[in-house]
Each structure stands twice: as structure tokens, then as C-alpha cells.
Structure 1
Amino acid sequence: MSKFENLGLQESLLAAVSDLGFETPSEVQEKAIPILLEDETDLVALAQTGTGKTAAFGFPLIQKIEVASRTTQGLILSPTRELCLQITNEMQLYSKYEKGMNIVAIYGGASITEQAKQIKRGAQIVVATPGRMKDMIRRGIVDITKIDYCILDEADEMLNMGFYEDIKDILSNTPKEKSTWLFSATMPKEVATIAKKFMHSPQEITVGAKNSGASTVQHEYYVVSGRDRYPALKRLADANPGIFSVVFCRTKRDTQKVAEKLIEDGYNAGALHGDLSQNQRDLVMNAFRKKQIQMLVATDVAARGIDVDDITHVINYQLPDEIETYTHRSGRTGRAGKSGISMVIVTRSELRKINAIERKIKQDFLEKKIPSGIEICEIQLYHLANNIKDTKVNEEIDGYLPAINDVLNGIDRDELIKKIVSVEFTRFYNYYSKTRDLNSGDGNRERGGKGERGEMPKDGSVRYFINVGERDGYDWMSLKDFLRDNLGLEKDDLYKVDTKDSFSFFNTDAQFTPLILETFSDFKVDGRFINVEVSKNPGGNRGGGRNGGGRRRDRDRKRSGGRRDRNSSFKGGKSGSKKSKGKRNSGFY
């Protein structure tokens, strides 16, 4: 039995829920849907982007609409064309069994004549951007004087974009006795003003702490000099071979400049800013959704309404002026229950802003170091080896094998492997082997004498390599839980957890090293040895540890079971990482 059945939804909507594969309602859906179905009430719902707000207001709205009437009964306002279209598409899926339901999208950049025709045919629900909606009201194309429900979605984003006057004008054309539902990630004073002016004793629900960040997002900051922002960005991309990210800049000029430099350096990047035509915006966004672009460089305004669930990283190339804007940026990742990482590149003079953001979002930032060139070479080397291992063999090559064997005759196995890997590795090594350290001095802030996240001293920190990663179903959250559960450590005893495609790194205080090495000396999960080694390089390089992984496995295979086989549930936080379909934007592929 689906929990959606306990929320009061009618059978036709439950059938749509089943078709969509929804099983358990999100927290905002569980809280909002019963209230909106049971009462004719105003509602203020505060929840982060990506928590399922469209279904939270969409299902109740559809159930309350009188389908037999062609009068416009519901109005949904959203900040951008992209979000407007997305809401419309989702609402149409929700209402697939509501015969006669007509939901129309109204937005700029498209034919107003065609949109007018759709409205004239009868639209019970209109989804609109404020600017185009105001224009159509002025032309007498849309009549919202008889609506029963008005929904303001991403209200804080609409107000941040300067739509305050437009929203006031639109709402002044609606009846006073309607129900108004306001959904927002944060509650700045402008949103509170709208609620006070146009709503009557609204009920309020909050998912998480008010104005807080999503718990699925890890926040990191990297301290560099101002001139090293771009090299730092490049290294962060190279240190995360599977990156699929949005890079935020403050100005259109910087956005275009950074995107062009990334493209020149061989990355699959694109720019999204206000100087682009609507057609250009659509092309960039379509390429990003298909992962043909893996690093989307955007301004805050242009990125409003981006709704892509698989974004792995948000990179703040520059911090925004408003803390609420940072909340929206970081909310682009860690969506739909998945984990994500929000990285901030800052100078020492900007560290006070990190403290201010922490207080606002009620989460701590991890201070991290920009990876060294050698560390990046190591990560990329493992990534390349893993790709070679997983490459599907093209059987058509069989006919060429005799000639290839003649060419490679006399080269032993180890030498051949080194040559194959060197084809790509040498290019990377030549670039990074002599590069300098980009980290700007001591980025530590005052934290009551404690180190990173206020949890561990820096002195005596040990870095470890572990041979599991994202393709094993782990992200930084679930790997941290796996290690904590098997080691019996507290949450704060493990930190700097970095998951890559097929391996990961983590840190503990030096006092835990004997426990970790002993625990993983003969540790199996589903018949596979889990290898943990001390890294020679504290920044993340894999060290030889106390023994080589290959030698240890050979030794273990010869054992007759003298030591007990430790087993554990080999299950990460994800059902398996989604591999990018597009060309790798950096490193080896």
C-alpha cells in the first residue's frame, strides 16, 4: 500500500501516482497535501528546491478543480520559462486520468498568439511567468477574476528577480476570497510582505529549519588568492572525473569569460546568462540536461528554475551578495534524496562571509585544500585504469589481432599496461607535475580552538585510500556511514570523505589508525576484499600502506580460512551512480 493513499487523494490521481512510480511522499507532500485537500485555506510552505513541491500543490489543485467548467480556476506563478514548462509538464502527467483537464503554460519568448488560442479553448489551470502573465492581463487575453486558487512557486526567487510589482499587480486582479498557496525555499522580508498583504491567516509548514540548507548537501570552501580562482576551478574539476556541475559567477562578463576558458582548455562547458537569446538559452539547457555539457557556467538570474536532479557539484566561483542566493545555488545539487557538494572558492578576506552563511543555513563548512598536481594525476590514473577495465570489447577487432600482436611482440604485460596508460597519463603529468600549490596560507577561521568543522585537530590527521567508490553505490554520506558503522566511530571522527568513481579517500585522527588497519586487514563484502591503506600524501595520494593491495589479495587467496571472514552489508546510499553519457569534460576518458 502506497502512503499516498493515506493523504486523501482520489483514485484517478493515485493511478497517476502509480504510473509515475512514486511510492512514498516527501516530507513537504506529506505535510501539505492533507491540509490543502481538507480545508479552503491559505498556506505558506517553506522547503528547499528539489523536495517535491510541485506534487505538494499540484495534486490538491487538480483534485479541487471542476473539470466540467472551462473557466480558469487555478493560477500558478513561477519565476522562469524553464520552471513554468516543467511545472506544466508535471501537472499534465498528474492529471492524465482527468478527462477534459486543460493546463496551459504562458511564458515569454514564445508566440503570444498561440498561447492566446490555447487560453481561448478553455484552461482550468494556467501556469505563467509574471512578466508574460501581466502582459496578457493587460491585453484582456486572460481572465483571472474568478480563480479559486493562486499558487506562488519559488516565491523568493521571483522576488529576488525583481517581480515584486508584477506579482502585486497580478494578485490585485484576483478575487479576495480565493485560496493562496505560497511555496518558497527561504522567507526573506519581501516574501513575508506578500504573505501579509495578500493572505489571510495562512497555515505554515516548514520542511527542515527555516532558511536552512538541505541536509543532503556537503558545503566546502577552498582559500586561494584572487588571481588563482580559475586554476583552482580547473583543478577541482580535474579532481572529480565524474563531475556534472553548475558553476556560479556574479556577472554576465565573468560567466562568459570562465565558460570560454573552460572550453579552450578542453572541457565540455557552456554559458548561461541574460545576454543570450531564448533560443540560445534553450540550446544550452537542452545540452546540459543531456549531459553534453558537464560544466554549466551561469549567473544567478539565468540559473533560476534549473531543475536537473543529477547535478553532483555546485561550484561558487564567486560568492553572491545575499545569503539567500547561496541557499538557492546549493539547492541545485543534493536533490531528490541524492547527495551533492557545494564548493566555494574564496580569498582570505572573504572568510567572514563563510561564517555568516553557516549561521544562516545552520550547517558547517568543511575547509579543504585545492588538490596538488600530483594528487590529480593519481586520481586521473585510477579513473583511466577503471575505464579501461570496464570498456566493452568490440569483437570486430578480432580480425586485426594477429597484426597487432606482431607489432606488440616482445613487450611484456607490465610494460604494455604502462604504455597504454601513458598515452593519456603523460599529457596530464606533463601539465601538472611542476605546478605550484594554489592554497592561500592558513584559511582556518576562529572555531573555539578546533580545526575543520570544529571537530578534529589538524595535527595528527591521517589520510586513507579505500577501494570502493560511486559505482559501488557510495557517496560521501553513505561511505561515511559505512565506515562509522564498521569501525564503531562517532560521526565527527571521520572527515574529508571524498568519493571518486571506483575508489575514495577519508581522514581520521592518528589515534584511530591501528583500529582502521586492523579492521580492514581481512575484510570482505559480498566476497570482495575491501582494501584500506594509509596514503603517503596527506592531501589524498594513495600510499603503499602496510602492504600492497595486489600482494595482499594473492596472499589471502592462498589462505585456507585460518582467519575469520568479516562480512558487511555492501550497500551505499545510492542505487548505483549514474555515469555520464557525454564526453568526459576533463582528464582521461
Structure 2
Amino acid sequence: MLSFESLGLNAPLWEAVRDLGYENPTPIQAEVIPMLLESETDLVALAQTGTGKTAAFGLPLLQKTEVDQRKTQGVILSPTRELCLQITRELKNYAKNLPGLGITAVYGGASIRDQARDISRNPQIIVATPGRIKDMIGRGMINLSSIGYCILDEADEMLNMGFYEDIKDILSKTPKDKSTWLFSATMPGEVARIAREFMHQPKEVTVGTKNKATDTVRHEYYTVSGRHRYAALRRLVDAHPGIFSVIFCRTKRDTQRVAEKLIEDGYNAGALHGDLSQNQRDLVMGAFRKKQSQLLVATDVAARGIDVDNITHVIHYQLPDETETYTHRSGRTGRAGKSGVSMVILTRSEMRRVRQIEKIIGQPLVQKELPDGMEICEIQLYHLVSKIRDTEINPAIEGFIPAIRDVLEDLSRDELIQKMVSVEFSRFFEFYNKNSASLSDSPSKSVESSEIGKGQARYFINIGERDGFDWMELKDLLKKELGLGKDDIFHVDVKDGFSFFNTDSVFTPLVMETFRRFSLKGRPIHVEMSTKPREGGKGGFRKNKKKGWKTSGKGGKKTFSKGGSFRQKQKAKKANKAKKGSKGRPGK
């Protein structure tokens, strides 16, 4: 494996990188860093978001900068304030062993006087948004006449945002003999024009296929009628209890409206769009980075430069106007080798765009049906039980235990479990019992259905993300242990503390026997059959009479039958009591 030291970096730089926890360079870094260190050259590098481009141009720039020369030697242009600040932070981390090297960010939405004061200290490197640096050049606050290096980061996005003329004007104020390094995810015509007009025989580097999305992201789409778009969003969020997601809308108005509705419905969400003040943007992003909010509803422009790790899902509430933007959006997840999911909510009239997206990303979009209400209830119930199991006991409650026992002494063990779980579970059951109708609007018969297909079996397994698994790694484990092929295990759905997967029913005896006494790193691993609900009549949910919830009749009155995955071995007397309105019944 290559190391940063082997790329030709000086000790102060590779030691700083090592201290940050990076051991091996990414493909773009391994290819670009030696090239830029060895010669003075112009460069066009195409690579997707999240591949380590900042270090690819930042480390060579730092090494080539003369620390003892107090003048601006390099300028980096980026499309948004967030990306500008992210680049500045990363460069300062890489330069921690280079005393005397100054790096300053200039961007809109902050005091131009404060930034002018920082510039007056003659930093060697300026990181800037095009609009603000053009303004400061015009006022005589910044002079780029002697810089040696100019970097255009996210060049395609800057041009999509309308900065073409600004970039041309800025570049015209720089020396002709400077080195220009252009980094972009795509290569539209305007980016090519910049390369032709302002670069001299640039070397070209492409990591991966142009525009191609990362292989660590799974792409799915769901078709609904336009009036069900928000309801579909709720189902996708509820079906993934550990979700940490960016939700993309086309307009600022829709972004604010969707975020407000999510908040009203009890979700931790925030909106990010161009109408927010800088202080509001900082508060929203601060809450999202700290995971105080799990859903960030954003416009494409506002989301550029989001530097947040471990985003599990990208949800396209609406597709972007430019199909190429889909790649930028989905690149928010599946970063640094981790897996992610990109989910698109479509109306039938937008189906033609699926083929366009597939052509751009070089991957298929799998058509799926939205999970039904009972499936979501089952997922949420398992999530709740897993959360209770893994909760650390607070020693402060020890003194209250005798009084708590007195209050609960009339309850059996099963009743106590049922009541405890019902506290959280009831709101999901009540909501989805009233909103159980299918939302899918799909004419296709090739849909990857949320129901168990004929001849298929679905299983619950008590390992998930917190055990270090994503859907690809869990599928690999199952293939290895069961000795099955990659197509024999499907619909692998990994949650926080548990997961689901499907096989053809012919493999059920093999699955159950393999995991009957199975352990992983000393931990017992259990696999159970997961029976999904069949579609019922007007009453709503139905399930096998031996297993759990059922409803019947026009009124949809709820009962709880003997046995079942939600209340194991429930006595008939308890079920009748629940039917008559017991406080222990879920939904009350």
C-alpha cells in the first residue's frame, strides 16, 4: 500500500496527515500529489465529491509555498461559504507543522472589513468564493498579480451557479505563467472553455468514469402520485429509524415547507437554503453536524460543501432541474468507503428521467415499493427493543428501585414489557393504522416489492450498523456462512441494531439451521422468520392469526390474537382485556 510519505511529501506534511489519522492516500491523491510535486504544470482532475480532492491539491500547494515570503502565493476558488471554510480548516490542519504559514478565507455573508484586515497580514494562501474575492479585488484589497498557483475547486458547480464571468475576470488578474489546477466532478462545456482559455497544455487525470457515481451507494426510486410525496417521505424516514439524511428539494420555498412539516410531525429536522441569514445557516449546520437534527432539508446550492460524516441516506424529495446534479447530491452519502443509499421520490410523469440518471451514474436505479404501515411498525418495534437492550443503566436510579417495584408489583413480566414498549410504539401503530393505504403509483410489474414474494422468505437477524455492518458487509457474511450465491440473498436492509434479509423459501431450513447456534465474536446471533402483513380489506392491517395484529370489519377495530411477534404467547384473557380498552394495549 502507498503511504503519504512515499508520495514525495516533506516530513512536516505527512506527519500532520498521519496525526489526523490518514494512513493511505485515496486514488486521486495517489495520482495527483506526485504529479504536482514533480513539475510546474496545469492540471484538470475529474473526481467525485468525497474522494479526497482537498488533500490532493492542498498538500502540494502547501509544500510549494515559501513560508518565509509574506505575500499571497496561491488562491483557491470554491463555490460556497461552507466549502470555503471546509477547505480552510483542512489546510490549516495539514499546515500545523509549518509555523509562519498564513491561510485566510474570504466569503460573502461576513464582514468585509474583518476579512480585509486578515488580508492585510499578507497570508500566503487565500481561499475564497468568486463573488467576494472579485469585490475585494475591485476595491484594491487583494492583489493577485504575483501568485504562482490558482486552484478551481468544484469548478462545474461554480459555473452552474453562474460564476463563469466572475471566474474569467478573476483569472484575468493573475499572471499568465502561474500554474492552474482545476478540480471538477463533471466536465460540462463551460469548464472545458475555462481550461482552453486559461490553461496551457494541462495534464488530465480522471479517477473513475466521468460523472459516474460511487459504487458504495445503492440507488432506489419510489413512484407516488404528486399529492402523496410528503407521505412517502415520512414512510421512508420511519422505515429507517437510525437515518441521518440530507433531503433535497428544488426550491427554497419547498425546502422550508417540508422542513416545517417534518418538525410539526415530531422529527428533528432543519432547513438550509439561500433565504437564511448567516447566523441561521450556522445554527442549522451546527445542529446537523452534532446530530441534534437527523434530517437536513436543503436546496442544491445551499448543500454544496457540506462537510458531515456518516450521512446514511440522501433522499431526493424532488429531482434536480439538471440531471447531472443527481451525482453531486448522491455523493453526500457513501463516503470514505462506507455504504449509503440514494432514494428518489418520483411521480409517474418523471419516469423518463430514470434512464437519464442511470446513463450518467453508470448504475441502475432499483424500483421499489414504499413500505406499508405494518412493516414500519414491525421495524420500529424491533428498533425500540434493541434500543432498550443496549441502554446503559444510570446508577442514579438505584435508590428509587424499591419505590418503583412497589408501583409495578401488580404487573407480570410480560405486562411490564408490553406497557414499556407501548409507550413509544403506540404512536406509530395509531398513525399507520389510520394511514395504511398503499401510496405507490407504479404501472410496472418489475417492482422490487415490499411484500414477501411468492416462494420467498424474510428473516430478522440481531446484528446491524452498530456491529460494524452495512448492507454489503452483511450480505457478504450471509453468503459466506450459508454458502449461497450473491443472487440467493436479497433485500438486505440494515438498521441500527438489527437487520432483515430475504432468500427463496427453499433455503429456509438451511438459514435456520446455520444460525441455530451461531455466534460472532462471542456474541450469540439469532435469526427469526419475519412475517410481513398481507393486504387486508377495508379494516386495514391483517396478519397470520397465529402471529400478532389483526383488524376486521368496516370499523377496523383492533384485537390482539394469541401468540405473535409483537407479544409472545399472549394469553387469550389478556387479548380480550386489551380489546375492551386496557391501558396496556398498544394504541392507547
Q: How does 1:400-415 map to 2 (within 5 A)?
A: 400-415=400-415
Is contact 1:50-1:307 (8 Å) kept? no
Determine the structure 1 residue equivalent to 2:48: 48
- The alpha-carbon distance between structure 1 residues 432 and 106, as it changes in their structure 2 partners (threshold 3 A), is same
Quote the RMSD (CA, aligned, Å): 2.5
Q: Distance in 2 between matches of 1:161 and 1:341?
A: 26
Determine the structure 2 residue equivalent to 1:420: 420
Is contact 2:369-2:447 (8 Å) kept? no
- The alpha-carbon distance between structure 1 residues 539 and 320, as it changes in their structure 2 partners (threshold 3 A), is farther
Determine the structure 2 residue equivalent to 1:466: 461
Residue identity opposite 1:65 in structure 2:
T
Is contact 1:232-1:438 (8 Å) kept? no
Residue identity opposite 1:186 in structure 2:
T
CA deviation map 1:109-143 (0-9, x unaligned): 11111211211211111100000010011111111
Q: How does 1:160-559 map to 2 (within 5 A)?
A: 160-442=160-442, 444=444, 460-537=455-532
Q: Distance in 1 between matches of 2:366 and 2:62?
A: 43
Which TM-score applies when normalising by structure 1? 0.88
Determine the structure 2 residue equivalent to 1:579: none
- The alpha-carbon distance between structure 1 residues 271 and 232, as it changes in their structure 2 partners (threshold 3 A), is same
CA deviation map 1:284-319 (0-9, x unaligned): 111111111211111111111112112111110011
Q: Structure 1 regions of 5+ residues with no counterpart? A: 551-589
Q: Distance in 2 between matches of 1:302 and 1:165?
A: 21
Of 63-72 and 535-544, more deviation after overlay is shown by 535-544
Is contact 2:108-2:132 (8 Å) kept? yes
For residue 527 of structure 1, report the CA deviation from its aligned partner: 3.3
- The alpha-carbon distance between structure 1 residues 542 and 69, as it changes in their structure 2 partners (threshold 3 A), is farther
- The alpha-carbon distance between structure 1 residues 96 and 398, as it changes in their structure 2 partners (threshold 3 A), is closer
Q: Distance in 1 between matches of 2:338 and 2:223?
A: 27
Is contact 1:367-1:443 (8 Å) kept? no
Q: Distance in 2 between matches of 1:401 and 1:499?
A: 36
Determine the structure 1 residue equivalent to 2:8: 8
Which TM-score applies when normalising by structure 2? 0.88
- The alpha-carbon distance between structure 1 residues 484 and 233, as it changes in their structure 2 partners (threshold 3 A), is same
Q: How does 1:96-107 map to 2 (within 5 A)?
A: 96-107=96-107
SS of residue matched to 2:351: helix
Q: Distance in 1 between matches of 2:367 and 2:409?
A: 51
Is contact 1:213-1:362 (8 Å) kept? yes
Q: Distance in 2 between matches of 1:150 and 1:523?
A: 58
- The alpha-carbon distance between structure 1 residues 219 and 177, as it changes in their structure 2 partners (threshold 3 A), is same
- The alpha-carbon distance between structure 1 residues 514 and 191, as it changes in their structure 2 partners (threshold 3 A), is farther
Q: Structure 2 regions of 5+ residues with no counterpart? A: 536-541, 548-562, 567-588
- The alpha-carbon distance between structure 1 residues 537 and 305, as it changes in their structure 2 partners (threshold 3 A), is same
Of 531-540 and 266-275, more deviation after overlay is shown by 531-540
Q: Distance in 1 between matches of 2:4 and 2:61?
A: 15
Give the share of equivalent positions with the same residue, in percent: 67
Moved over 4 A (4+): 450-453, 538-545, 547-550
CA deviation map 1:81-132 (0-9, x unaligned): 1111111111111111112111111111111112112112111111000000
Q: Distance in 2 between matches of 1:12 and 1:240?
A: 44
Q: Distance in 1 between matches of 2:478 and 2:428?
A: 32
SS of residue matched to 1:150: strand
Is contact 1:348-1:440 (8 Å) kept? no
Determine the structure 2 residue equivalent to 1:137: 137
Residue identity opposite 2:174 in structure 1:
T
Residue identity opposite 2:77 in structure 1:
L
Determine the structure 2 residue equivalent to 1:578: none
SS of residue matched to 1:87: helix
For residue 489 of structure 1, report the CA deviation from its aligned partner: 3.0
Q: Distance in 2 between matches of 1:452 and 1:433?
A: 24
Q: Distance in 1 between matches of 2:485 and 2:455?
A: 17
SS of residue matched to 2:325: helix
Is contact 1:464-1:542 (8 Å) kept? no
Q: How does 1:108-147 map to 2 (within 5 A)?
A: 108-147=108-147
The alignment status of 1:34 with 2:34, answered yes or no, reads: yes
For residue 531 of structure 1, report the CA deviation from its aligned partner: 2.6
Determine the structure 1 residue equivalent to 2:24: 24
Residue identity opposite 1:501 in structure 2:
D
